[in-house]
Structure 1
Amino acid sequence: MHIVISEFMDTGAVDLLRRDFQVLYEPDLVDRRADLLKAVAEADALIVRNRTRVDGEVLAAGRRLRAVGRLGVGLDNIDVPACRERGIHVLPATGANARAVAEYVVTSVLVLTRGVYHNSSQVAQGAWPRTAMSNGREVHGRTLGVVGFGGIGRMTARLAQGLDMRVVAYDPMLPGTDPVWRETQVEPVSLDALLAGADAVTLHIPLTEGTRKLIDGPRIAAMKDGAVLVNTARGGIVDEAALAQALRDGKLRGAAMDVFGEEPLPAGSPLAGAPNLILTPHVAGLSVEANTRVSDMVAQRVAAVLKQG
């Protein structure tokens, strides 16, 4: 049986798959669409990250496909209903990168709330902006608002509570009577209440028609003055132009964006030059440890499906 891997995967997991299967591992295959279509024609399984579009064209070419492994958790690059119709298993690495994302979020909240880490070049050049940098804030006793209280949201909440932050969360899929609220000691609130009361807001929801530009201009305006926003979910959830304007106006103290409506972020984006803004290239869930966990989990799940016969 054949497995095609079109993006980066931990080599240990690739070697594990090679023990039992014929594996084509070409991390740049994602950028060679014609070669990808040719390769999947012989594949029983396809393993991707977030850039490979597993759409109708790929599924039509991959008539033998029985599994699509996703090295991550977001599925917006995979036509899940079409896979389901064809009996193809879609296998994400649920939970494997939760720690990496949660640490990214909490680190970003700390950096942006304290506000003293952006002037290294000035200090190196002999300036001493001590007075200007002496008004940073602590997170102790402040409120973190988590939008989407799944595995990553819960891990983020736990780390924030370790810093003595109060945590509230909004998740329309979890009723207020769900035992998870009591177990995590997190208060369920409405989205409006969360935005109005949180000192930092972090997003952990999928991109759907219902969540596209969920955090738009009016909702950003409704946030607490001086709040921090962190988005490691999907770029289309935040109105980037509205966020940039809120940062320039001083409405928000800062923001960290790991995901964007268009990736790579195009030149001339309204985010370019906005103050107190951390931009990273969709890496919140990537770390040495997370890459190993994600790759191992997907390799095991794909192998299990193919070995079912």
Structure 2
Amino acid sequence: MRIVISEFMDSPAVDTLRADFDVQYEPDLVDRREDLLRAVQSADALIVRNRTRVDAPLLAAAPKLKAVGRLGVGLDNIDMPACAARHIDVFPATGANARSVAEYVIATVLLLLRGAYHASAQVAAGDWPRNALSNGREANQRVLGIVGYGGIGRLVARLARGLDMRVIASDPILTAEDPAWREGLADRAELDDLLRQADAVTLHIPLTDETRGLLNAERLAGMKDGAILINTARGGIIDEAALANALRSGKLAGAAIDVFDKEPLAAGSALADVPNLILTPHIAGLTEEANTRVSDMTAQRVAHALRAN
């Protein structure tokens, strides 16, 4: 059986698959669409990250496809109804990069609250902006608002509680009786109430028709003055132009954005040259440890599916 891997995967996991399957591993195949369509013609399985579009043309080009492995958790690049119609199993690496994302969130919360880590060039040049950097904020007793209280959101809550933060969370899928709330890590709140109360807000929800543009200009205006915002979920959930305006006006004190409506982020976008804004290239879930966990889980699940067929 043949497996095509179109984006980066940890080498030991690739080698494990090669022991039992014919593997075509080309991490730049995602950028060569015609080559990718030719490659999947004889593929029994395809392994992707978030950039490979598993859409109708690709599925039409892959008549033998039985499984799609997703090196991550988001599924918005995969046509799930079309896969279901073809009885193609889709395997996300659920939970494998949760720790990496959660630590990214906590690190950026601390960095943005303190606001003291952007002066290296000034200090090295002989300036001494001590007074300007003496009014940073502690995480202790600050309110962290988590939008989306799944596995990653709950891990963020656990780490935040270790910093003595108060945690509130919003998740329309979880009823008030859901066992998640009985853990006592976070208090349940409606989204707009959460935005009004939270000193820091972090997003952990999928991109759907309901969540696209969820944090628009109106909702950003309803956030607590001086709050910070972190998005490691999906681009498109935040109105990027409205976020830029909220940062420039001082309504928000800072933001860290790891995901964008269009990736890579285009030069000259609305988020260019915005103060107190950290931009990272969709790497919150990527660490040495997470890459190993994600790759191993995906390899195991795809191999099991192929052997079962």
Same fold per TM (> 0.5)? yes
- Find the counterpart in structure 1 of residue 101 from structure 2: 101
Answer yes or no: is 1:204 the counterpart of 2:207.
no
* 8 Å CA contact 2:83, 2:89 repeated in 1: yes
Answer yes or no: is 1:119 the counterpart of 2:116.
no
Residue aligned with 1:230, SS? strand
Q: Distance in 2 between matches of 1:235 and 1:125?
A: 37
- Find the counterpart in structure 1 of residue 237 from structure 2: 237
Structure 1 gaps of 5+ residues are none
**1:53 Cα offset (Å):** 0.2
Q: Distance in 2 between matches of 1:49 and 1:178?
A: 31
Q: Distance in 1 between matches of 2:206 and 2:252?
A: 24
Answer yes or no: is 1:23 the counterpart of 2:23.
yes
Q: Distance in 1 between matches of 2:298 and 2:133?
A: 45
- Find the counterpart in structure 2 of residue 265 from structure 1: 265
- Find the counterpart in structure 2 of residue 289 from structure 1: 289
- Find the counterpart in structure 2 of residue 13 from structure 1: 13
Q: Distance in 2 between matches of 1:306 and 1:18?
A: 13
**1:37 Cα offset (Å):** 0.5
**1:45 Cα offset (Å):** 0.1
* 8 Å CA contact 2:148, 2:171 repeated in 1: yes
Extract structure 1 runs of 4+ deviating beyond 2 A.
none
The aligned runs of 1:138-153 (5 Å cut-off) are 138-153=138-153
- Find the counterpart in structure 2 of residue 187 from structure 1: 187
Q: Distance in 2 between matches of 1:18 and 1:234?
A: 32
Aligned length: 309
Residue aligned with 1:82, SS? helix
The aligned runs of 1:28-107 (5 Å cut-off) are 28-107=28-107
Q: Distance in 1 between matches of 2:284 and 2:299?
A: 21
Which residue identity does 1:58 align to in structure 2?
L
Q: Distance in 1 between matches of 2:210 and 2:184?
A: 27
Answer yes or no: is 1:135 the counterpart of 2:135.
yes
Q: Distance in 2 between matches of 1:247 and 1:185?
A: 30
Which residue identity does 1:176 align to in structure 2?
A
Which residue identity does 2:112 align to in structure 1?
L
Q: Distance in 2 between matches of 1:145 and 1:133?
A: 25
Please give the per-residue CA displacement for 1:244-284, whole angstroms capped at 9, x wherever unaligned: 01000000010000000111111111111110000000000
* 8 Å CA contact 2:154, 2:185 repeated in 1: no
Q: Distance in 1 between matches of 2:84 and 2:14?
A: 26
- Find the counterpart in structure 1 of residue 223 from structure 2: 223
* 8 Å CA contact 2:157, 2:185 repeated in 1: no
* 8 Å CA contact 1:96, 1:290 repeated in 2: yes
* 8 Å CA contact 1:98, 1:285 repeated in 2: yes
Structure 2 gaps of 5+ residues are none
* 8 Å CA contact 1:232, 1:284 repeated in 2: yes
**1:184 Cα offset (Å):** 3.9
- Find the counterpart in structure 2 of residue 250 from structure 1: 250
Q: Distance in 1 between matches of 2:31 and 2:168?
A: 41
Identity of aligned residues (%): 70
**1:186 Cα offset (Å):** 1.1
Residue aligned with 1:3, SS? strand
Q: Distance in 2 between matches of 1:81 and 1:29?
A: 24
- Find the counterpart in structure 2 of residue 299 from structure 1: 299
Which residue identity does 2:185 align to in structure 1?
Q
Q: TM-score, normalised by structure 1?
A: 0.99
Residue aligned with 2:43, SS? coil
**1:180 Cα offset (Å):** 1.1
Answer yes or no: is 1:173 the counterpart of 2:173.
yes
Residue aligned with 1:41, SS? helix
Q: Distance in 2 between matches of 1:87 and 1:117?
A: 51
* 8 Å CA contact 1:154, 1:184 repeated in 2: no
Please give the per-residue CA displacement for 1:215-248, whole angstroms capped at 9, x wherever unaligned: 0000000000000000000110000000001000
Residue aligned with 2:13, SS? helix
Q: Distance in 2 between matches of 1:270 and 1:30?
A: 27
**1:183 Cα offset (Å):** 1.1
Please give the per-residue CA displacement for 1:62-96, whole angstroms capped at 9, x wherever unaligned: 11000000000000000000000000001000000
Q: TM-score, normalised by structure 2?
A: 0.99
Residue aligned with 2:256, SS? strand
* 8 Å CA contact 1:44, 1:65 repeated in 2: yes
Which residue identity does 1:262 align to in structure 2?
K
* 8 Å CA contact 1:152, 1:204 repeated in 2: yes
**1:185 Cα offset (Å):** 2.8
Q: Distance in 1 between matches of 2:57 and 2:179?
A: 43
* 8 Å CA contact 1:216, 1:238 repeated in 2: yes
